[in-house]
Amino acid sequence: MPPSISTSLSASEQDAATAAARAVERLRLAEARLARRRQAQCGPSETARAATRYILEKSDAGEHVTPTQIADHLGISAASVTSILDRLHSGGLISFQRNPDDGRSKRVVPVDRSADLEDIDPLAARIRDLASRLGAQEAEHLARFLEEIADEVDEECT
């Protein structure tokens, strides 16, 4: 914690901040372990799951998505997205449509709209259940805190 922040906190506030930081670090380590287990044991990679969730979310919002948009959203190369989309296409999860706005590109669409996001990532349903137990103010504070952490993680090594 930067000195300017830690010196303005009481001892109990410092203890709470330290506990929160440790909990976030434990979460990050647990997610890293989960990603390794999923890669080795559970089918699609974490990146393929994220791509599928993004495709479904955009489809649910009535929006079209291209491979370039998927690459940008995931922060990976176009070549990596092509490989992921080829595997999802081979697995029957997505199809491609010609993009009427740009004949050089294609749209990525989900094949089975009966698929639920929980089927793609069952952990997401359990996390939503845990989040539903929070009060509104508690949920708002937690969401803001986690968004700030996500921003910091995204900025690391860039």
Rounded to whole angstroms, how far apart are CA atoms 128 and 41? 24
Quote the number of domains for the chain: 3
Task: State the amino acid at position 76 in one-letter form.
Answer: I
Looking at the DSSP assignment, which residues form a beta bridge with residue 108?
65, 96
Residues 52, 36 within the same domain: no
Whether residue 35 has pLDDT greater than 50: yes
Residues 104, 132 within the same domain: no
Residues 151, 109 within the same domain: no
- Cα 85 off chain centre by: 17
pLDDT of residue 97: 92
Least Cα distance to 84 among 121, 128, 52 occurs for: 52
Rounded to whole angstroms, how far apart are CA atoms 142 and 137? 9
Q: In 10 A of CB 35, how many CB atoms?
A: 14
Residues 90, 54 within the same domain: yes
pTM of the model: 0.55
pLDDT of residue 1: 46
Render pLDDT for 147-157 as a digit per residue (tens, 0 to 9): 999 888 888 87
Q: What share of the chain is helix, strand, coil (3-state, %, to 5)?
A: 65, 5, 25
pLDDT of residue 8: 81
Render pLDDT for 1-34 as a digit per residue (tens, 0 to 9): 444 455 688 888 888 889 999 999 998 888 888 7
* CATH number of the domain residue 70 falls in: 1.10.10.10
Whether residue 44 has pLDDT greater than 90: no
Q: Decide: 108 and 55 in contact? Cβ < 8 Å.
A: yes
Concatenate the DSSP letters of all residues of 99-116 into one string.
-TT-TTSEEEEES-TT--
Instruction: Pick the range with the lowest mean pLDDT from 42-56, 61-75, 123-137.
Output: 42-56
Residues 22, 66 within the same domain: no
Least Cα distance to 127 among 117, 137, 114, 112 occurs for: 117
Q: Which residue has the higher pLDDT, 84 or 37?
A: 84
Instruction: Pick the range with the lowest mean pLDDT from 46-55, 87-96, 111-120.
Output: 111-120
Residues 27, 51 within the same domain: no
Q: Decide: 76 and 115 in contact? Cβ < 8 Å.
A: no
- Write out the residue range of the structural domain in which residue 71 sits: 44-115
pLDDT of residue 49: 84
